[in-house]
Amino acid sequence: MNMTGNTILITGGGSGIGLALAEEFARMDNQVIVATRSPEKLKAAEERGLATISADVSDSARIQALASRVILEFPQTNVVVHNAAVSRREDLVRGGNPNVQEETVATNLLGPMRLTTALMPHLLRQRSGAILIISSGLAFVPSAFVPTYSATKAALHSYAQSLRFQLRDTPIRVIEIPPPYVQTELGGRSQATDPNAMPLRDFISEVMEILKSDPHVEEVLVKRVLPHRYAAEHGRENYDAFFEKYHSRVM
């Protein structure tokens, strides 16, 4: 993708990976629009000089309103970053929580799919553009502690592949970014300072370097996510061993 001169919409861009990407893209001479449902995060983004839109991507009607407003107010929009996500621990043995499951699927999976559908006619009218999908290393080796989150990220990986194939003869690139465990507050405040998590600044720096160095990249894979990404490629026994080792370490 082109790294400058874009108009970029970032969902969930008020904190964590979304906000960090927004600031980096803005520094590279792109216009960035941050979409988030939190008034506090909208204000924080505005204080950083970013354009903002209140949005809740878990709500199909509000996604349509978001797309209409983006097209009206930012008609040059040619890049969408699907970053908004929720992650909740679930105890499936005790019955799970249907509300958590529905919110997670609506936000993490249906949100990107619905927004892509709503914006597709507009994106196809642009001279060039990109759809960036923030999935997760857990798309390839799930965490049993966040099963619905992991499942939605696996589905996003599948969706990205299909979308990329269908857009192969258009000027729209589809780029998947699967983060490893990163120091953000996605899983709670303690995650932001967890020494086992990759520092957010390091993650963003590596992502941007990959995007700059390879204009045709399809998956942006930082080094810390490679064990998850390729765990299944070394055979079932190695995958099972990795799965057990990963959960033993987390526990």
Q: How far apart are CA 12 and CA 14, in angstroms?
A: 6
The residue annotated as part of the active site, out of 149, 159, 181, 246, is 149
Q: How far is C-alpha 97 from the chain's CA centre? A: 23
Q: How far apart are CA 77 and CA 9, in angstroms?
A: 7
Q: Where are the alpha helices (DSSP H) in 125-235?
A: 147-166, 200-213, 226-229
Q: Where are the alpha helices (DSSP H) in 28-168?
A: 39-47, 60-73, 98-105, 111-124, 147-166
Query: Facing residues of 32 across strands?
Result: 8
Query: Quick check: 82 and 88 in contact, CB under 8 A?
Result: no
Closest by CA position to 153, among listed 82, 216, 90, 210:
82
Please confirm, yes or no, whether 149 is among the known catalytic residues: yes
Q: How far apart are CA 32 and CA 81, in angstroms?
A: 10
Count, residues in the chain: 251
Run of H or E residues at 34: strand 31-36
Catalytic residue positions, numbered: 149
